[in-house]
Amino acid sequence: MRLLRLLLIAVVAVGAIGLGVLAWFVTGSRPMAFAGGKTVSLAAYKGPSPTGVPADFPSTDPVARGQYLARAADCQACHTAKGGTPFAGGLAFNLPFGSIWSPNITPDKETGIGAWTDAQFLRALREGAGPKAHLYPAMPYAAYAYMTDADALSIRAYLASLPAVHNQRPRLTFAFPFNQRWLMAIWGRLFNPAQHFQPNPDRSPQWNRGAYLAEAMAHCGDCHTPRNLTQALDNRRKYAGAVAAGWKAYNITGHRLYGVGAWTDAELTQYLSTGHAAGRGSAAGPMAEAVDLSLRYLTPSDIQALVVYLRSIPPVSTPDQPPPSLRPAPAAAKQGLAADYEPKGKRIFEGACVSCHSWSGQGALNEWATLTGGRAVNDPSATNVAQIVISGANRRTPDGLTFMPAFGHAYADDEIAAVANYVTARFGAKPSKVTAKDVAALRKAAS
């Protein structure tokens, strides 16, 4: 009897702790709860509407306005296969328990969303509930939940104006129990309040516009905010850095050392609108995509609003992610050390990299290729160094093309590890110790 009672107490205690942890996760997942201050409904808000296209948007054409919003929300990045037709789907998302491919959202009636009603579209976009099945949060519906009906339907009108493309995505390969879509209904209940954006009357109109853009549209947090065990965002550490598609999305809180608190407004503006800020580095990988497909199309007033919002994010310290070193070119002694540390890496750098990056790392080719000062070479995990060696860069920027070849096929995993370790030892604060096995995992995580 006594054993039974003890057992019962233990079960209740474990249950209570479990519920407590879950409640902690749930409250932590609400993005705006941590942006400070009170909020009011859009209808009750007295200021200029933070939603829709900005006042300085030049066109009144509904399709052009829908395109602006679709770009701000960056639907294209995920719904386009590598080299595929925009919005026709087929991009792989590789997770430890299998892969999922993005669906076709062109107006094709059979394989796209041409036959969907507006109501079905709204539910899928904001609640993650498709007409037939629940969606995985690889689709950022917890962010889009903040979108107004008008903006969501404006995006739909733009999508409906595109040519219909017949393209069926591959079947999902998740292992049991992850292949059980109904579990996503529970996840959605817990982590997606399905509440639309609520402005904060104590903040400026610019801040509110920035908050709407960052949270309801550009979903910065989906890449930059760490996640809890259930894959929901941990907004208690909002924008403190996370891993996105195998790349490090760094700490962009207001922390002066670990975040972007020491960047000037001009640097943030330049980085967000062009993917490069002098002395701060260039956007590569998923951030290059976010800039090239989305942020570069935003009007100057919208970029300004994003910067104002970003500045208000409370600083979070992340000592495991060392700050970028602001040292200029490394000392000669260090260069000798780097060669001793990784002789194979030095040979590869000499043969394949130095022509564009120069021995000083200051960008022989152009400013975009400057290696020193940026985060990638100062991150002792060398994650983004290895990733850019694998996938290269091919960006159409306002200043023309920036190009770095993809070496993923040319080099074996141990060679990529060697050159990554050489680059961090030579140009960064601390040499990395990436292994061939790490590189294999990074290849798998990238889509």
Report the site for ligand HEC in 115-144 (rule: CB under 6 A): 121, 124-125, 130, 135-136, 138-140, 144
Cα→Cα distances 258→220, 254, 374, Å: 17, 8, 12
> Cβ closer to ligand HEC: 113 or 338?
113
Among 296, 375, 413, 425, binds ligand HEC (CB under 6 A): 375
Whose tokens are 């009144």? That residue is 60
Q: What are phi and psi of 355, to 5 degrees?
A: -60, -35
Using DSSP's 3-state secondary structure scheme, residue 361 falls into coil
Please pick, from the candidates 39, 80, 102, 318, the single residue that binds ligand HEC as defined by CB under 6 A: 102
Cβ proximity to ligand HEC: between 200 and 446 the closer is 446
H helices of 178-315, in order, are 182-191, 205-211, 220-224, 265-274, 285-293, 300-311
Q: What are phi and psi of 15, to 5 degrees?
A: -60, -45
HSE of 11, CA atoms in CB hemisphere, 13 A: 6
What binding mask, one character per residue, do residues 379-418 give for ligand HEC by CB under 6 A, x or -? -----xx--xx---x-x------xxxx-x-----------
Query: By C-alpha distance, which of 441, 382, 379, 375 is closest to 413?
Result: 441
Size of the site for ligand HEC (CB under 6 A): 79
- Which residues in the 416-445 window bind ligand HEC by CB under 6 A? 419, 423
Q: Which two tokens stand for residue 162?
A: 């595109």
Positions in 309-338 near ligand HEC (CB under 6 A): 310
For residue 323, the 8-state DSSP code is: P
Q: Among residues 45 and 144, whose Cβ is nearest to ligand HEC?
A: 144
| Cα 353 off chain centre by | 27
| Secondary structure E strands in 7-127 | 92-95, 98-101
Decide: is 187 part of the binding site for ligand HEC (CB under 6 A). Answer: no
Q: How far apart are CA 435 and CA 421, in angstroms?
A: 9
Q: Provide the minimum distance between the beta carbon of 331 and ligand HEC in the complex, in angstroms, as a whole number.
A: 20
Pick the closer one to ligand HEC by CB: 20 or 300: 300
Report which of 190, 384, 359 is spatially closest to residue 281, judged by C-alpha positions: 384
**Span of 198-206, 226-234, 349-357, 433-441 interacting with ligand HEC by CB under 6 A:** 349-357
Least gap, CB of 161 to ligand HEC (angstroms)? 13
- Binding segment for ligand HEC (CB under 6 A), chosen from 43-51, 101-109, 187-195, 335-343, is 101-109
Q: Which of 25, 158, 207, 247 binds ligand HEC (CB under 6 A)?
A: 247
Q: Which of 349, 326, 360 minimizes the C-alpha distance to 421?
A: 349
For ligand HEC, the binding residue among 74, 234, 342, 413 (CB under 6 A) is: 74
Question: Is there binding between residue 145 and ligand HEC (CB under 6 A)?
Answer: no
Q: Which of 232, 252, 390, 445 binds ligand HEC (CB under 6 A)?
A: 252
